[in-house]
Amino acid sequence: MTKNTIGQEDWEEREERELPEPVSKDFRKSGISYSLAKTNVEYREGHEASEYFLGEILESLGGHSTQYFTEEVQRLTNKYSFLRDGAWFAKDASVPYCKPLNPRRDVYNLHKLVKYETPPGARAAPLLPALDSLTAEKLGTKPEFFWHEVVSRGRSIGITEGFKKGLCLCAYGLPSIAIRGVTQWHLKDTSELHPEIERFATEGRTIYVLFDQDKKPKTRNQVDKQRMKLSRVLEQKGCDVRFPEWNLDEGKGIDDVLAKYIDPNDLFDRE
């Protein structure tokens, strides 16, 4: 396979960036252009970051002004104070989704960092990337019509875990829905698809499920279990479900693999 340099020139041309270097590096290494990243994410830090993330929760508790600063508000703002160090947020997400620069540790596994955050108790809705004009032009569409055309024309799609992977797949020509975790494809306490996924689950549509490869047997089994559950629901609706595979030494996530190599046809057939 050939080393991938897609998107690198786009970053190099930007002398002044609205995304700080740690964030820029995160997207560059996944082969995502500056224009596609900037269309989909924004950077926040300080109290703005934590208050934006907890906004609806704080409002439901009476706000975060001194007059209404309850014990529960104090607990939450302290718990998520690490967001003040900075984080990139998915734009236009109905429920906030972000990747902190300084992630917290998982309370159930102190050896593990929580890389991505959704507000506690919030509905973990899937995310649909937007296209910048350059990517849209490559795909023969316009940004404002992209997802409508995907739905109406029965185009193949991908379902992956993580917004950055969804952006990477879109950049390579496979419209992809990003779920926030491998268990987040269905409504809570049911096997019903999220409405954001349901509208794509149509007769004859090819859907690629692109979850991470993992060397830990326990994690791999958990991921495989969710992959099979999701595929059964999709197949019941008449979808053609496929599971591209790659070697772990090529990368853990699909973005790692595609960022290294130009030709994705070894993994899936693009339309």
pLDDT at 14: 61
Nearest to 163 by CA among 89, 230, 233: 89
Question: Phi-psi bin for 46: left (phi > 0), alpha (psi -120 to 50), beta?
Answer: left
pLDDT at 133: 95
255's CB contacts (< 8 A; 6+ apart) are 30, 31, 32, 162, 164, 165, 168, 169
- What does the buried/exposed string (b/e) look like for 155-183 if buried means 16 or more CB atoms within 10 Å of the residue's CB? bbbbbbbbbbbbbbbbbbbbbbbbbbebb
pTM over the 0.75 mark: yes
pLDDT at 12: 62
Spans in the chain with pLDDT lower than 70: 1-17, 62-69, 261-271
4's CB contacts (< 8 A; 6+ apart) are 31, 258, 259, 260, 261, 262
Tens digit of pLDDT for each residue in 153-208?
A: 999 999 999 999 999 999 988 999 999 999 999 998 999 999 999 999 999 999 99
What's the CA gap between 19 and 58, in Å, rounded?
A: 27
Taking each helix axis from N to C terminus, what angle separates 163-171 and 21-28, rounded to the nearest 10 degrees? 50
Answer for the pair 45, 86: CB distance below 8 angstroms, yes or no: yes
What's the CA gap between 186 and 182, in Å, rounded?
A: 10
pLDDT at 1: 44
Please write down the HEC assignment for all residues of 83-143: HHHCEEEECCCCCCCEEECCCCEECCEEEEECCCECCCCCCCCCECCCCCHHHHHHCCCCH
What's the CA gap between 18 and 24, in Å, rounded?
A: 9
The dihedral of CA 187, 195, 174, 103: what is its sign?
A: negative
Cα separations in angstroms, 234 against 45, 61, 111, 125, 169:
39, 39, 35, 18, 20
Answer for the pair 32, 165: CB distance below 8 angstroms, yes or no: no
What's the CA gap between 82 and 46, in Å, rounded?
A: 9
Answer for the pair 25, 11: CB distance below 8 angstroms, yes or no: no
Answer for the pair 83, 46: CB distance below 8 angstroms, yes or no: no
pLDDT at 183: 94
pLDDT at 266: 61
Domains of the chain with CATH codes = 45-113 (no CATH), 133-266 (3.40.1360)
Tens digit of pLDDT for each residue in 207-228?
A: 999 999 888 899 899 999 999 9
